[in-house]
C-alpha cells in the first residue's frame, strides 16, 4: 500500500467550464494527463490524499461531476478543503452526495495501515 498526495486539480467538468489552458499551453488536457498518470501509479489498495482546490464549482451540485470523475480513479481518496473549494459543504451532505466514495478530512482522522492522516483547522 502506498500513500500519494496531489492538490490543485482545479477541475471544472467535461468539457471544462474553466479550462486550465488559460494559464498556458502546458495545461492543455490536464485532466487527461492527471488520469493517465494516476492510473499508471495508483493501485486500488493505495490511498490518495487530495490536498484541496479540487473543483472550480461554486456549490456541491456543480462539483459532483468532478468528484465522480475522481471517484472513478483507482485508490481510496481522502479530501481536504482548499481555499478555492467553495462547493465544500457539511460532511453529511458531501458524504451523501458522493455516496460515501470519499473520506473528507475535517477535524477528524483516517488510518492508512499504521499511518494516521489528521485534519484540523488552523
Q: What is the structure's pLDDT at 97? A: 96
Q: What is the structure's pLDDT at 15? A: 76
As averages over each run of 10 residues, the pLDDT of the chain (122 residues) reads 95 81 84 96 97 95 96 97 94 96 93 89 64
- Encode pLDDT of 87-101 as tens digits: 999 999 999 999 999
Q: What is the structure's pLDDT at 25? A: 86
Q: What is the structure's pLDDT at 24? A: 84
pTM recorded for the entire structure: 0.91
Residue with cell 477535524: 107
How many domains in the chain? Answer: 1
Spatial separation of the C-alpha atoms in residues 113 and 15, rounded to whole Å: 37
- Tell me the CATH number at 87: 3.60.21.10
Amino acid at each position: 500500500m502506498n500513500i500519494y498526495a496531489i492538490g490543485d486539480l482545479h477541475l471544472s467538468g467535461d468539457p471544462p467550464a474553466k479550462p486550465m489552458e488559460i494559464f498556458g499551453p502546458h495545461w492543455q488536457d490536464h485532466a487527461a494527463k492527471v488520469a493517465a498518470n494516476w492510473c499508471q501509479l495508483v493501485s486500488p489498495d493505495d490511498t490518495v490524499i487530495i490536498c484541496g482546490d479540487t473543483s472550480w464549482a461554486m456549490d456541491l451540485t456543480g462539483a459532483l461531476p468532478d468528484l465522480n470523475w475522481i471517484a472513478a480513479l483507482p485508490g481510496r481518496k481522502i479530501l481536504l478543503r482548499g481555499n478555492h473549494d467553495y462547493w465544500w459543504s457539511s460532511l453529511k451532505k458531501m458524504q451523501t452526495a458522493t455516496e460515501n466514495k470519499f473520506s473528507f478530512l475535517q477535524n477528524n482522522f483516517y488510518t492508512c495501515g499504521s499511518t494516521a492522516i489528521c485534519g484540523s483547522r488552523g
